[in-house]
Amino acid sequence: MTQATVTTGPAAKAVGASKFYGNGDTEVRALDDVDVEFERGKFTAIMGPSGSGKSTLMHCQAGLDTLTGGQVFIGDTDLSALSEKDLTLLRRDKVGFVFQAFNLVPTLSALENITLPMDLAGVAPDQAWLDEVINTVGLADRMGHRPNELSGGQQQRVAVSRALASRPEIIFADEPTGNVDSTTGNEILAFMKQAVDTLGQTIVMVTHDPGAAAYADRVIFLADGKIVDELLDPSAEQVIDHMKQLR
Partner 1 sequence: MIAKLVWRNITGKPFRFLLTCSAVTVGVMFTVGVFVFTDGLRSTFDDLAGDIEGNVDYAVRTQLDFGDRDLTAGLIDPELDAVLASVPGVAATQPVIQNPFCCAPTDGNGELQQAATGPNLGLNWEDKRLDSRYFLIEGSEPSGPDQFVLDQDTFENGEFELGGTYSISMPTGPNDYELVGTFFLGAPDRNALVGAIAVAFKTSTALSDLYLGFGYYRIDFELEDGADEASVLAAVTAILPSNGELVTGDEILAEREESFGNVVNNFRVFLLVFAFIVLLVSAFVIFNVFTILIGQRIRELGLLRAIGASGRQITWALIGEAGLVGIVAMVAGTGLGIGLGWSLRWLLSILDFGPDSNELVLTPTTFIFGAVVGIGVTMASAIAPALRARRISPMAALREDARLTQYVPPRTLALGIPFVALAAVLIVVAISSDNWQNVIVLGPIAAIANAFGWKRINAIAGQYATLALGLVLLVATLVLDMGTGAVLSLLGVAAATLFLGVNGVSPRLAQPVASFVGRWPLAILLGIMGVVVTLLSLAGFVGVLFLVGVSVKDLITDFDAAGVAALVGCIALFGFVYLVFRVGVRAVDASFIMGWRWTQVLAGIGVFVIGAIGAIAALTGLAAIVAADWGATVTIPIGAVILAAAVWLRRFLPKTLKSNARMARENAGRSPRRTASAAAALMIGLALVSTATVVSSSFKATFADILENSVTADWFISSADNGPNPAFSSELANQIEQLPQVDTAIRFRFLLEAYATDFDGEVRDSSATNMRESLGHLDPDFVELNEDAIARDSIWVHEDFANDNEFTLGSTFVIRFPDQTSEAVRIDGIYSDSSIYGNRVVNLELWADHYPAGQDQFVSVTVNDGVAQEDARAALSAVTDAYPQINLDTRDEFQDRQSAQIDQFLTVISVLLLVAIIIALLGIAITLALSVLERTRELGLVRAVGMTSQQMMRMVLFEGAIIALFGGVLGVALGSVFGAAAVAVIPDDFIRTLDIPVLDMLQYLAIASVAGIGAAIIPARRAARLNVLDAISQG
Which residues of the chain form contacts with partner 1 (CB under 8 A)?
A: 59, 64-65, 84-85, 88-89, 91-93, 96-97, 99, 102-108, 112, 115-117, 119-122, 162
DSSP string, 85-133: HHHHHHHHHHEEEE-SS--S-TTS-HHHHHHHHHHHHT----HHHHHHH
CB of 247 to partner 1, least distance (A): 25
Nearer to partner 1, 64 or 228 (CB): 64
Nearer to partner 1, 1 or 246 (CB): 1
CB of 65 to partner 1, least distance (A): 5
Task: Calculate ∠ Cα 39-171-95, nearest 5°.
Answer: 105
Nearer to partner 1, 9 or 144 (CB): 144
Which strands sit side by side in the sheet containing 28-38, from one edge to the other?
Answer: 28-38, 12-21, 69-74, 77-78
Nearer to partner 1, 85 or 247 (CB): 85
CB of 124 to partner 1, least distance (A): 8
Phi, then psi, of 96 in degrees rounded to 5: -115, 150
CB of 120 to partner 1, least distance (A): 5
CB of 45 to partner 1, least distance (A): 20
How many contiguous H segments (helices) and E segments (strands) does the chain have? Answer: 8, 10
Query: What is the Cα 52 distance to its own chain's centre?
Result: 17
Nearer to partner 1, 180 or 219 (CB): 180
Burial class of residue 173, CB neighbours in 10 A (0-12, 13-18, 19+): buried
Q: How far apart are CA 200 and CA 62, in angstroms?
A: 19
